[in-house]
Structure 1
């Protein structure tokens, strides 16, 4: 089992904070079709949000799988379930009942909806994705953790043997084969999600089957990555191949385009999309392990604060965005004001609220002050 690695905490924090940039970009992106939108838009913000989306959550789920394995081994299934559920489920419920409801009311008022309270009193609202919003990835994590716990309990030994065999297979294979095969796994899980019979879908749907299947390959890879120091060293070793794979896929998609007229062309485009995500995730690991693999008070504070900031930021982006849209300012200036104000207010809520009030720390971080 590998030891805890400092740069992963930093990388996870940065990925969480990029949520502010991503959602603020939606306000000014012409094709975002988001909750709110400025009348003046720029294609720059489409490129920005799509670029961030291509690597942010894939890399995040690799890190989540990595830490899931470490904590499962360290605490065992029972304590892991209690600690992780408190850390994730309590903040999800707290945000859903406060910030997300307030967000619903703010948007309803902005859109001129007369009766904004009635939807909150229906089962349709609470048994669907409507209340989840930007917390969808936490629902994913809860489900992934649940499956990981079950597998850990009932199939730990045979799974260990399988992992050992995979180690030997990878050791005997060129590195680039892994980067080329991983997108194929993602493509296959995506394909499976498209073909789930409607009859076996649950009556409630807190997260889409596509999202659930799409990110599971990244999470499982993170689990696997945590089984060996050699693996993590290989994944963070500087190589030209992920950069070459990324460049080649971008060139192909820009020249040929994501043609959806036939099965083969559509499959190639989706495989290359997945190849971009895996290549960028690999590049993130390389860069962060090279430049941020050290302990510091700033990084520890950032790691702790980023969770709160992500939980709080979505409502703030919408609220500040509504205030900024009517102003006669260049959209670049609006964008900078938006991300700065959202970041500052969210950080203040964490620093002066979550860190200092034990009730707030438990409700919004799932932690008790010691």
Structure 2
């Protein structure tokens, strides 16, 4: 066990576990909206207005991954306070890398073939997707929706390094860290303005780094992921990790309040609307998006806590199958969208069918196959 600045209480934050699951499952809505807001199926007669789907993409994108990384950081810190770095690495390697490779080399590969075929086949028929060899240029897209697994694993490795360094500095430094966390916990809510100023500065940091060294920050060095992406989401992960060392502040943010609900609702409506209006340039939108994302992150803890209280223990049903839903949904969303548009079904009906069918199929696969098979639990859930 690694000695860390504070002893970790053995608590189960069910609301945050559910939040992590729901945020992953929201990928079904996000990627379904992406299909109908882009020209992926333009040559199939898609004529629905992309505006509403583009708005939905922007609204979900504003908070989903920032909140997911914040919750992941929280649970990462909790795990590292309870177990050794070695045990943590072993657990997370199995939990992250095994499903990543399993889906990457099967479903993602198949989806790339389907995408290649969809560009030239107006109708789906047996063998259409495999008529041509896979275009080598598509291998750069092989990660598809799995990019977040690579990013979160990088954060886990960095968290392990920080934990090892903290363990090496001695008890005196631990007391300093505990004092710093205690002072932050005692800060009044009025100090939230300082948080947002820091958040805006952190949002500009990846862009500033990109300006100074674009050849280092923007190329996709990390298994198809740019350092820019890792830098952009790092503050959210660090916030969640730090929050785990401040139980009083955690409880404060987990409390529901009407301002949190109103703030979250306003952010997911106004920020996409402002972005679509073109009122602000790219530089100003960095600040607007950062403020919106942090409002959502700071609100979502309380919203999920309240939602779980309303639903009760049944809410945990959202957490268990979430990994399966996320890993398998991408290919199903694409294939179902292709099938429906090939049959002339477009618009809100097609979108609803894609979402409902994908959720139904992935839930069925989880409870009928993954949950009942040790091999499939390992391959698709890392358990």
TM range (shorter): 0.7 to 0.9
Tell me the SS of whatever aligns to 1:155: helix
Taking the aligned partners of 2:105 and 2:86, their CA distance within structure 1 comes to: 28
**Aligned counterpart for 1:149 among listed residues 149, 155, 160:** 160
Q: Please state if 1:39 is matched with 2:59.
A: no
Q: How does the TM-score come out when normalised to structure 2?
A: 0.83
Mapped to 1, the partners of 2:225 and 2:258 lie a distance apart of 36
- Report if the CA contact (8 A) 2:30-2:57 is conserved: yes
| Structure 1 partner of 2:239 | 221
Is the 1:16–1:306 contact (alpha carbons within 8 Å) kept by the matching residues of 2?
yes
Structure-2 residue corresponding to 1:326: 342
Distance across 1 between alignment mates of 2:309 and 2:164: 33
How far off its partner does 1:203 sit? 5.5
Q: Say whether the 8 Å CA contact 1:55–1:280 is kept in structure 2.
A: yes
What residue in structure 1 maps to residue 328 of structure 2? 312
The residue that corresponds to 1:253 in the other structure is 274
How many aligned positions are there?
Answer: 354
Structure 1: state its 5+ residue gaps: 261-265
1:155-206 superposed Cα distances (whole Å, 9 cap, x missing partner): 2454763463254146245242254234224313332442335258686642
- Name 2:259's counterpart in structure 1: 240
TM-superposed CA distance for 1:296, in Å, is: 5.7
* Residues 88 and 366, structure 1, Cα contact 8 Å, conserved in 2: yes
Match for residue 142 of structure 2 among 131, 134, 148: 131
TM-score computed with the length of structure 1 as normaliser: 0.85
Structure 2 distance, partners of 1:131, 1:256, is 33
User: Structure 2 stretches of 5 or more lacking a match?
Assistant: 1-7, 121-128
Q: In the alignment, is the contact (CA less than 8 A) between 1:108 and 1:116 conserved in 2? A: no
Query: How far did residue 241 of structure 1 move?
Result: 7.1
Task: Provide the residue aligned with 2:107 in structure 1.
Answer: 99
Deviations 1:298-349 (A, max 9, x none): 3333212010010000000011010011334451111111111111111111
Q: Paired residue for 2:64, among 48, 56, 60?
A: 56
Distance 1:255 1:26, change over 3 A: closer
SS of the counterpart of 1:207? coil
In the TM superposition, residue 117 of structure 1 has moved relative to its aligned partner by 3.1
Match of residue 263 from structure 1: none
In structure 2, how many angstroms separate the alpha carbons of the residues matched to 1:66 and 1:23?
26
Distance 1:287 1:197 in 2: 38
Change (3 A) 1:363 1:103: same
User: What is the Cα deviation at residue 354 of structure 1?
Assistant: 0.8
Name the structure 1 match of 2:308. 292
Report the Cα offset of residue 137 of structure 1. 0.5
Superposition CA RMSD, Å: 3.0
Q: Distance in 2 between matches of 1:44 and 1:170?
A: 41
Identify if the C-alpha distance between structure 1 residues 38 and 55 changes in structure 2 by more than 3 Å, giving closer, same or farther. Answer: farther
Shift of 1:77: 0.6
* Contact 2:261 2:303 (C-alpha < 8 Å) held by counterparts: no
